[in-house]
Structure 1
């Protein structure tokens, strides 16, 4: 296995582990839904690992959490969280690592893309599986207004951490041609 793959595998595993632990800590104090603790390590993984690894972190983190802790509930929350978090990781990795966009632009775009994808997943769950969920627009609006503290934490904390990691050469961006 290449050195890059081992590094990404380790970072992905660490991100998943943090994504399992942070929600348990926040939920112990009744702060889980408002502060979006699972989103933080998935977004950071998007900045730290390549696209395939970032998507895997976005998929496995809520899936393992649901299976090991019961959070999020298997239905209807888990399916749309998987798509939302996979989109977060994918867009952050693609924009920041591949296309070398600014950390803030990459973060905001990934947060918007994740919400749009979760809204689409909610529509599919309601239309095809009869899930009792609000319409996609109402769902996205509610998920934004109900999690403003978490969104603020993401916008303040994640770019600062990414900038620190980048300055210390702990992040490796890919070039437009795909080299790392």
Structure 2
């Protein structure tokens, strides 16, 4: 285990803070321009990227707090009558958990990213089943509406990580 120093603490804070900042800024920009977060899943982008760039244990914090801070700062995702915040919280934490597992597999990066996102999206069924006011048909629609965001996030994160690897090889 690495010894915790001031330098390490600052790196940890920068990683978590950076991911949280982007997780708040991207959805805010989408909402300002009237672009649906439910379709493009901008809250996913930074957390997904962070799970493949940084220590996953740190990204659990970012995944947990991203929907909560978004809700406190912007009111989105909604938390009360429509439990979007809770559903995103479950999805993002599962995203980090699954990515931690798949990164240990000797598989292609694209497969790791796809598995992480797909399992995260499917995990929200648990939140829906617990929250009895939400119908299963809503959940199916929620998954369907977010398909463009799933594809976009997979592509963005894959291209960024591939670009990073190419730069590191030089």
Q: For the superposition of Structure 1 and Structure 2, which TM-score range results when normalised by the shorter chain?
A: 0.7 to 0.9
Q: TM-score, normalised by structure 2?
A: 0.85
Change (3 A) 1:15 1:153: same
Number of residue pairs aligned between Structure 1 and Structure 2: 162
Which residue is equivalent to 1:88?
A: 95
Instruction: Give RMSD over aligned pairs.
Output: 2.1
State how 1:159-178 maps to structure 2 within 5 Å.
Answer: 159-169=158-168
For 2:111, what is the secondary structure of its paired residue?
A: helix
1:118 to 120, 124, 142: 124
Could you list the runs of 5+ residues in structure 2 that have no partner in the other structure?
none
Q: Which moved more, 1:45-54 or 1:140-149?
A: 140-149
Could you list the runs of 5+ residues in structure 1 that have no partner in the other structure?
127-131, 170-180
Q: Which moved more, 1:15-24 or 1:85-94?
A: 85-94
Which residue is equivalent to 2:13?
A: 9
Q: Which moved more, 1:102-111 or 1:19-28?
A: 102-111
Residue deviations 1:91-119 (CA, integer Å, cap 9, x gap): 223322x4453221111111121122211
Cα distance, 1:166 vs structure 2 = 2.9
Which residue is equivalent to 1:173?
A: none
Which residue is equivalent to 1:134?
A: 135
Q: Which moved more, 1:32-41 or 1:6-15?
A: 6-15
Contact kept, 8 Å, 1:54 with 1:93, in 2: the verdict is: no
Cα distance, 1:6 vs structure 2 = 4.0
Cα distance, 1:71 vs structure 2 = 0.6
